[in-house]
Each structure stands twice: as structure tokens, then as C-alpha cells.
Amino acid sequence: MIPDVRAAFDVERVRADFPILSRTVRGRRLVYLDNAATTQKPASVVDAISRYYTGINANVHRGVHELSELATDAYERARERVRAYFNAGSRREVVFTRNATEGINLVAHAFARPLLKPGDEVLISAMEHHSNIVPWQLACAATGAQLVVAPISDDGELDLSAVDRLIGPRTRLVAMTHMSNALGTVTPAADIVRLAHAKGVPVLLDGSQAAYHMPVDVRALDVDFYVATGHKLYGPTGIGVLYGRASLLGEMEPFLGGGDMIASVTFQRSTWNELPYKFEAGTPHIAGAIGLHAALDYIDSVGLDRIVEHERSLLEYGTAVLQNIPGVRIIGTARSKGSILSFVMDGVHPHDIGTIVDREGVAIRTGHHCAQPVMERFGVPATARASLAMYNTTADLDALGDALARVREVFA
Ligand SMILES: Cc1ncc(COP(=O)(O)O)c(C=O)c1O
């Protein structure tokens, strides 16, 4: 029988592809558990960026010379790669942005603002990142519309029946996370879309966390807008993705004006370039798109299905590690959960937890995680958060457990 070489997940082999993981911090092995903030980069991503700058650097869509053609080709192949990753129907529906935040702001400005009238509503959930709250607040303030917030349970699960109830005749858009960065909750995205569409309301999903932890198929979800951010997808910072249904993008006015997004310009009036260029004003982050292409290739070479399985078993292991430490309470215990462990410890401020575990070489995040309303919902000022990626190991989680035991000693 031919062995299935893809079946086994060789985490050490994966780790070897990430140069930074072999460095030390504070004189100790780096235990990187801050992946929800940003993931580390495989060498192939860094190499792809370097090859672009050393081999084919030129501006795109502008020149007739060979380097410009090569750069344009690489940039557009990156778009095709993103299209395939999210299974969008067409490259016209894939807009490169700076990050997820810019994607949401683009939709808030170019789609929501012209649509919203006084008394209209935008529905979000109680577990959104600030990036999926503030742009809607700004749009509501400018138009007289209102922000409506769907509640979550004590486990951090979205109340789907409340979502259904809250989508009313004044709802113009539903904007919700696909996975919470503060709780780990994976939301029932397809159900949200189904409920909203049943009432003729379009949906934006914030896939910043979901996109590197699970397969995302925008056509199967039937979602109208989907945003993701490259630096969490093992790619570079400064590059993000907005998927938008072509029929909606086509109707929208531009977000930013300038070079590349126009078909013609006179002092009297300008006309707009075709999709998706209408939404890409100015020189884009060419190297970033190329780096993102390499990152998505890397994810696929490891296998997203195997990453999902590896992270699921790590989450189980990490949950048990935390549950074994006296006084630790996990915030976010949804049944459907990605590999994020938010927690508090009796009598210790999360900031002190972060500082002490850092001395042991363990990098976690502490604070409100850009989700202050979530902290308020759970009655805590902040949490400590360990978040996992494909290269983490049970040894990393043991190191976290040992470092937290040290915290307990310090505060005994
Ligand atoms: C759920 C969620 N939405 C949005 C963002 C914003 O991502 P970016 O800062 O890359 O735009 C983040 C980043 O932490 C996030 O976790």
C-alpha cells in the first residue's frame, strides 16, 4: 500500500519553515502564542517578497516595459490565488486593501452610507472587533441610522433567534464576525446569511480570524462581502482582501479617488475603471499581494484540513492545561470555537500575567483585544489570551502552563 504522506501532520517540519521560531527571547525558546494578533511568516513568503524586489520590481498596470509586465502579471496572479482560496466566482470580486479594517471601511463608505437613511439600522453582534463597530458607528452618525447589537450568551455564542428577530424592515446591512478574536467563537455564518437574505438584507462577514483557521467558501456561504487580512494568513502586513459580490461592487461609487481607479479624467468629470480596479486607488501593495500569494500557497501545501485538525487537538489540550491551574477561568466556551484561549486568573491582573509569562519566553496578549464591549459583557477589564497557529505544539502549551504556575507562585 502506498502510504498517504499527507495524512500525518509533521509539526516539526512546519516549524522548520518559520525562521523566527528558532530564535530565543529573554534567553529562552520562543513560545509564540499571540497568533490572533499576527502570525509568523514562513521563509517562502519572505523569499517571494525578496524575489519581487530583487527581480521584477516595477509599478503595475502602467508600463509597457518588461519589468512592469512581469510585476503586473505577478500581482494579478496573486489576485487569482486569493479568488481560488475563498472560492470567489471572479477576480473582479477580489479587491486588495491594506487590511481587514480598510475593507470594512470601504463597504461602510461606498455601500452603506449612500444607502442609509435616518432610522435605518445596521445589525452587528456583541462580540465584534472595534474594526467592525466603529466604521458602522461613523456611517450611522453621518446618516442618522442606528447601530443595533445582537446579544451573545454567557458561553460567548451568538443568539441566532435574536439575530432573526432583530433583522427588521429598517435593517439595511448585517455585519458580523466569522470568528471572534476575543472569545474564539465561530459564528454560524451560513445561518446568519440565510436569515438576512430571507428578509432581503445583505451581509458582510469579518473573516479576519476565520480565514486562517478554516476553509472559507464565499459562494457556499452566499455572503455579499467578506474581509480578511494578510498578516494573519501567514502573509505580510499592509495587504488585505475584500470580497464583494460583483453586482453590489458594480453599483457602488469609489471609496478612494486617484490613479488606477479611473477610466478617464477631465476637470469636469471622471469615469471609473472596471472592477476591481475602481476600488484600488494609487499604487497598490504589490509586494504584499505577492507575499500573500506565497502565504496561501504555503497554507495549501500544509493542507488546511490538517491545520484545522491539529489546531482542534491543541485547543483541547490547551483548555485542559488552563483548567488545571487553580483560579483560572476561560472566557469564551462556545461549542463551535477556534484555537483561541482567553482567560482571567483570580487576584492577578491580565497585564501582570502577560509580563511574567513573557519572562519565561511565552508571548501572549493581554488587554481588551480591540473588543472593549466583549470585556464589558463578561464583566472583566481585560483578559489574557493565548492564540494558536499551525506551528504550535503541546510543548508550547505546557510552557504556558508552567509559566502560569510561576504567576501563581508570584501572587501566592
Ligand atoms: C476579528 C477581527 N476583525 C478585524 C481585525 C482587524 O484586522 P486588521 O487590523 O488587520 O485590519 C482583527 C485583528 O485583530 C480581528 O481579529
What pLDDT, in 10s, does the model give residues 301-350?
A: 999 999 999 999 999 999 999 999 999 999 999 999 999 999 999 999 99
**Planar angle of CA 23, 28, 34, nearest 5 degrees:** 70
87 alpha carbon – ligand 1 mean position (Å): 21
Tell which atom from ligand 1 comes closest to the C-alpha of 231: 10
Q: Is the separation of the CB atoms in 86 and 292 below 8 Å?
A: no
Residue 35 beta carbon below 6 angstroms from any ligand 1 atom: no
Residue 366 beta carbon below 6 angstroms from any ligand 1 atom: no
Tell which atom from ligand 1 comes closest to the C-alpha of 99: 11
Looking only at the bridges linking them, the beta strands covering 383-387 and 340-345 are: antiparallel
Residue 39 beta carbon below 6 angstroms from any ligand 1 atom: no
Residue 208 beta carbon below 6 angstroms from any ligand 1 atom: yes
Handedness of CA 33, 239, 148, 136 (dihedral sign): positive
Number of H helices, E strands in the chain: 15, 17
DSSP 253: P
Catalytic residues: 370
Q: Which of 39, 96, 107, 129 to mutate to test the pocket of ligand 1 (most atoms within 8 A of CB)?
A: 129
Q: Is the separation of the CB atoms in 196 and 160 below 8 Å?
A: no
Q: Specify the pLDDT at position 63.
A: 79
Residue 383 beta carbon below 6 angstroms from any ligand 1 atom: no
Residue 206 beta carbon below 6 angstroms from any ligand 1 atom: yes
Tell which atom from ligand 1 comes closest to the C-alpha of 131: 4
Q: Specify the pLDDT at position 412.
A: 83
Q: Specify the pLDDT at position 1.
A: 46
Tell me the CA distances in angstroms from 388 to 38, 234, 357, one per residue in order.
11, 13, 16
Regions of the chain with pLDDT less than 70: 1-7
Instruction: Of 229, 166, 177, give the one whose Cα is nearest residue 204.
Output: 177
Tell which atom from ligand 1 comes closest to the C-alpha of 237: 10
For atom 12 of ligand 1, the residue with the nearest CA is 208
Other residues' Cβ atoms within 10 Å of the Cβ of residue 24: 9
User: What does the alpha-carbon distance between residue 185 and residue 195 come to, in Å, rounded to a whole number?
Assistant: 19
For atom 15 of ligand 1, the residue with the nearest CA is 208
Q: Specify the pLDDT at position 5.
A: 46
Tell me the CA distances in angstroms from 67 to 39, 213, 261, one per residue in order.
31, 36, 21
Residue 187 beta carbon below 6 angstroms from any ligand 1 atom: no
Q: Which of 125, 212, 229, 365 to mutate to test the pocket of ligand 1 (most atoms within 8 A of CB)?
A: 229
User: What does the alpha-carbon distance between residue 192 and residue 202 come to, in Å, rounded to a whole number?
Assistant: 10
Q: Which of 38, 97, 101, 225 to mutate to test the pocket of ligand 1 (most atoms within 8 A of CB)?
A: 101
Q: Which of 208, 212, 213, 374 to mutate to test the pocket of ligand 1 (most atoms within 8 A of CB)?
A: 208
Residue 101 beta carbon below 6 angstroms from any ligand 1 atom: yes
- 3-state SS assignment for residue 119: coil
Tell which atom from ligand 1 comes closest to the C-alpha of 370: 14
Q: Specify the pLDDT at position 289.
A: 98
Q: What is the chain's length?
A: 412
Tell me the CA distances in angstroms from 154 to 36, 328, 412, one per residue in order.
22, 16, 29
Residue 100 beta carbon below 6 angstroms from any ligand 1 atom: yes
Q: Specify the pLDDT at position 90.
A: 98
Q: Specify the pLDDT at position 7.
A: 60
- 3-state SS assignment for residue 3: coil
Tell me the CA distances in angstroms from 243 to 229, 320, 397, one per residue in order.
11, 37, 35
For atom 7 of ligand 1, the residue with the nearest CA is 100
Q: Specify the pLDDT at position 101.
A: 98
Residue 181 beta carbon below 6 angstroms from any ligand 1 atom: yes
Looking only at the bridges linking them, the beta strands covering 270-272 and 262-265 are: antiparallel
Q: Specify the pLDDT at position 3.
A: 46
Q: Specify the pLDDT at position 95.
A: 98
175 alpha carbon – ligand 1 mean position (Å): 14
Residue 211 beta carbon below 6 angstroms from any ligand 1 atom: no
For atom 9 of ligand 1, the residue with the nearest CA is 101
User: What does the alpha-carbon distance between residue 176 and residue 97 come to, in Å, rounded to a whole number?
Assistant: 19
